């Protein structure tokens, strides 16, 4: 068995731990490149949930099964194995005590640009707090013309991410569907729509004061000049499941636990929290660049999240000791 390691965050202590576990189990390994990917049997993604999304964006045609390893000692939604359980996971893989779950992905096409999403594709004006007008078409039939903050098309696994915070439904990870969610529509009848995953979804005649953008899995942005076509990717994401398959009830329970403290937060604070969940530690300027929210809004969101104890801050060493980064602490740090 040959394992490739995808580890975009250079954490030397974690890197040594991963290498030691693989060596102790006599597993051949290398760090991931396009060439190495073709030679390996399994890919370990070591990091946060956002790193799993980044992997599938960087390697959209990957057909190898992946296993997400969380940097902390608690599981994420996509990095289901905490780092302290890596040895147990490797032993189960060696003993063939695992299953592989195929997760549908989105393929998005617009003005000679093609990309893939594991969670969702969102279309918004490039400037926040700006309304957008658009037409929703499904299988060549017009469904509605909407006037809203934007629109999200999510996979089942992405239904518990950004789409849920915009009023979408919980969807079983095994369902073969897509979810379409209008964000803060001016028309209260624009409720979330569930369609079969073989549907062709088109967003046409987009009109707004500022250039509309596609936001793919919360990170990749591309200016839209025309219509947007969304359909199922030909290649699914293949996830290794070490324990029993996660049920929709497990995901709901996780989200309820996470939501207890954030239920009454303003949307901007929820958005900042979601970005930190996906991306890991970020400075205030990084958050402004990724969310496109005004600096004043980001400062207010960070102050609320700090007050609730949902995030922590620490100063960076260097020329400007006043520069801080913000991060979501692991459970063991939350208890301190």
Question: Could you give the residue numbers annotated as active site?
Answer: 49
Helix (H, G, I), strand (E, B) or coil at 74: coil
For 139, what's the count of Cα atoms within 13 Å in the CB-facing half-sphere? 5
Query: Is there a contact between 192 and 179 (Cβ–Cβ < 8 Å)?
Result: yes
Is 106 in contact with 117 (CB distance < 8 Å)? yes
CA 8 to chain centre: 15
C-alpha distances in angstroms, 312 versus 116, 231, 266, 321, 329?
32, 39, 19, 16, 6
Residues 54 and 45: their CA atoms lie apart, in Å, by 10
Spatial distance between the Cα atoms of 79 and 77, rounded to a whole number of angstroms: 6
List the one residue out of 297, 308, 302 whose CA is nearest residue 326.
302
| CA–CA gap between residue 170 and residue 34 (Å, rounded) | 35
CA distance 214 to 152: 10
What is the C-alpha separation between 276 and 268, in angstroms, rounded? 12
- Residues 6 or more apart whose CB falls under 8 angstroms from that of 180 comprise 136, 138, 151, 152, 153, 192, 193, 194, 195, 201
- Distance between CA 155 and CA 118 in Å, rounded? 7
CA angle 177/180/182 to nearest 5° reads: 165
Pull the structure tokens for residue 107.
């393929």
Q: Maximum CA pair distance of the chain? A: 60
């Amino acid at each position: 068995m040959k394992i490739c390691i995808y580890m975009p965050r250079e954490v030397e202590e974690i890197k040594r731990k991963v290498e030691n576990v693989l060596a102790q189990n006599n597993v051949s390994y290398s760090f991931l490149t396009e060439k190495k990917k073709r030679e390996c049997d399994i890919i370990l993604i070591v990091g946060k949930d956002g790193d799993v999304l980044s992997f599938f964006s960087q390697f959209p045609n990957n057909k190898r099964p992946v296993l997400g390893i969380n940097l902390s000692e608690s599981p994420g939604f996509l990095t289901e194995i905490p780092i302290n359980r890596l040895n147990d996971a490797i032993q189960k893989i060696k003993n063939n005590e695992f299953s592989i779950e195929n997760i549908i992905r989105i393929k998005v096409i617009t003005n000679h640009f093609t990309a893939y999403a594991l969670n969702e594709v969102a279309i918004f004006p490039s400037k926040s707090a700006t309304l957008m007008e658009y037409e929703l078409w499904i299988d060549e039939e017009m469904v509605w013309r909407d006037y809203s903050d934007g629109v999200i098309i999510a996979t089942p696994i992405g239904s518990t991410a950004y789409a849920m915070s915009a009023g979408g439904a919980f969807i079983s990870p095994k369902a073969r569907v897509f979810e379409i969610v209008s964000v803060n529509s001016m028309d209260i009848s624009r409720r979330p729509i569930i369609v079969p995953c073989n549907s062709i979804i088109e967003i046409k005649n987009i009109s707004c004061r500022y250039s509309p953008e596609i936001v793919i899995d919360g990170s990749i942005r591309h200016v839209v000049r025309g219509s947007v076509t969304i359909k199922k990717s030909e290649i699914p994401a293949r996830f290794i499941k070490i324990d029993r398959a996660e049920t929709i009830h497990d995901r709901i329970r996780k989200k309820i636990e996470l939501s207890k403290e954030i239920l009454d937060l303003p949307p901007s604070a929820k958005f900042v929290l979601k970005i930190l969940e996906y991306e890991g530690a970020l400075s205030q300027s990084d958050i402004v660049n990724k969310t496109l929210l005004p600096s004043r809004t980001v400062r207010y969101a960070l102050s609320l999240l700090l007050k609730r104890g949902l995030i922590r801050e620490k100063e960076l060493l260097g020329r400007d000791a006043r520069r801080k980064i913000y991060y979501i602490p692991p459970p063991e740090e939350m208890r301190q």
